[in-house]
Amino acid sequence: MNTDHFSQAIRTAAETGKPLRIRGGDSKDFYGQALAGDVLDTRGYAGIVDYEPTELVITARCGTPLAAIEAELARHKQMLAFEPPHFGADATVGGMVASGIAGPRRAAQGLYYGSVRDHVLGVKLMNGEGEALAFGGTVMKNVAGYDVSRVIAGSLGTLGLILDVSLKVLPCPVASRSLRLALNEAMALSKLCEWGGQPLPIGASAWHDGELCLRLEGADAAVKSAAARLGGEAVPQAEADTYWQGLREQTDGFFAGDAPLWRLSVPATAPAITLPGKELIEWGGAQRWFKTGAPEAALRAAAKQAGGHATLFRAGHAGKDMLSVFTPLEPVQARLQRNLKQAFDPRGIFNPGRLYREF
């Protein structure tokens, strides 16, 4: 399948004013605001375009299954370091970039891996006029002018259709060991803050219900040394793998139930946040999950007071009609967002209202 089908569909939509809903594996339809328009299915445009393990870069088409990407990388003991969740067997690389969601390793302490956008080197995008545009490239030092490829990550398909994407990959850790420590929330946050300033190979962390779990990754000697220094109870590898996978894919028991799931993104140094419901902390304290029926205003106020923002990740029984998924934009942010939308999608046909209702 070539891109002519996409171009024709986009041009027709632009002429008729009928919006398009870009969809790959349908695994992240729950995320974001509205789902509107005729479905533009990307799965037929799939395949790895280029992969040279020694260069640590892989380029793939938007409809390529994420599982296929990870399987190919695993053959060469490499990985997508930001540990993207699938949320379904049919997840695609295009949806991964468009959603911009990362897993437990995203903000590792002492081992900064970064977000999805930190690993996007380049994209080929089809705009609202049906034109294919290329941004970035396949090496880190390739940016001249606007770094559009990073803007696309997390845009939920509102700026254009991702055709191809080039991603930086990294070698898999040589060794991995998980620890479990009994700590209350305040002590866990204090320890995470303390350890964050030290050269420790902490590749993931999670606190819930009085228990802090750490995943150490890296050279065998470094992992063994850190484990001896940090103490705690060693978690059997099979159990640890299940636990971290459960956090990545939100199959862990914490995420069960119909209560709304909120994600608060705050500074790692922020103190404990008191809200009703259940809480789970990741990313060294920078990501705080709340399963709660508390009012939206309370969540946003708590996040703002802590120096961050709140996102309604899963609406649950509350539904999205009465709530805003993302923090409402300030006037300057709204103007920038509107200008971006106008530049890439002047007819407003791509995923209208998916990111913000007004766009």
* Model pLDDT for residues 236-262, shown as the tens digit of each residue: 999 999 999 999 999 999 999 999 999
Tokens, residue 94: 């295009």
CA dihedral 107, 111, 115, 116 (to 10 degrees): -140
- Band of the pLDDT at 2, cuts 50, 70, 90? confident
Write the pLDDT tens digit of every residue in 45-61. Answer: 999 999 999 999 999 99
Sequence-distant (≥ 6) Cβ neighbours of residue 41 within 8 angstroms: 23, 24
Amino acid identity, position 68: A
Query: Do 6 and 126 meet the contact criterion of CB atoms below 8 Å apart?
Result: yes
**Residue 92 has what DSSP assignment?**
B
Percentage of the chain with pLDDT > 90? 88
How confident is the model at residue 123, as a pLDDT?
95
pLDDT tens digit string along 21-42? 999 999 999 999 989 899 999 9
pLDDT greater than 70 at residue 109: no
Confidence at residue 138, expressed as pLDDT on a 0 to 100 scale? 64
Average the pLDDT over 268-275 and give the result: 96
Is it the case that residue 185 has pLDDT exceeding 70?
Answer: yes
Sorted by sequence, the CB contacts under 8 Å of residue 29 that are 6+ apart come out as 23, 35
The Cα–Cα gap between 83 and 51 comes to: 19
Within the chain, where are the H helices?
A: 4-16, 66-75, 93-99, 148-152, 185-196, 220-230, 237-249, 296-305, 331-344
pLDDT of residue 110: 59
Dig out the tokens for 203 from the structure. 């590749």
Task: State CA 110 to chain mean position distance.
Answer: 20
Position 218 confidence tier, pLDDT thresholds 50, 70, 90: very high
CA distance 72 to 161: 24
What is the residue whose two structure tokens read 């459960």?
246
Look up the pTM and report it.
0.94
Q: Taking the mean position of all CA atoms in its chain, how far away is CA 101?
A: 1
Q: Which of 107-116, 213-222, 321-330 has the lowest mean pLDDT?
A: 107-116
Q: Is the pLDDT of residue 160 over 80?
A: yes
Q: What is the mean pLDDT of residues 213-217?
A: 97
Q: Is the pLDDT of residue 327 over 70?
A: yes
Q: Is the pLDDT of residue 183 over 70?
A: yes
- Output the pLDDT for position 357: 86
pLDDT at 136: 84
End-to-end C-alpha distance for the chain, whole angstroms: 31
- For residue 34, what pLDDT is reported? 84
Residues 76 and 83: their CA atoms lie apart, in Å, by: 17
Burial of 74 (0-12, 13-18, 19+ CB in 10 A): exposed
Q: Which residues contact 206 (CB under 8 A, 6 or more apart)?
A: 104, 212, 213, 247, 280, 281, 282
Question: Mean pLDDT over residues 196-210, rounded?
Answer: 94
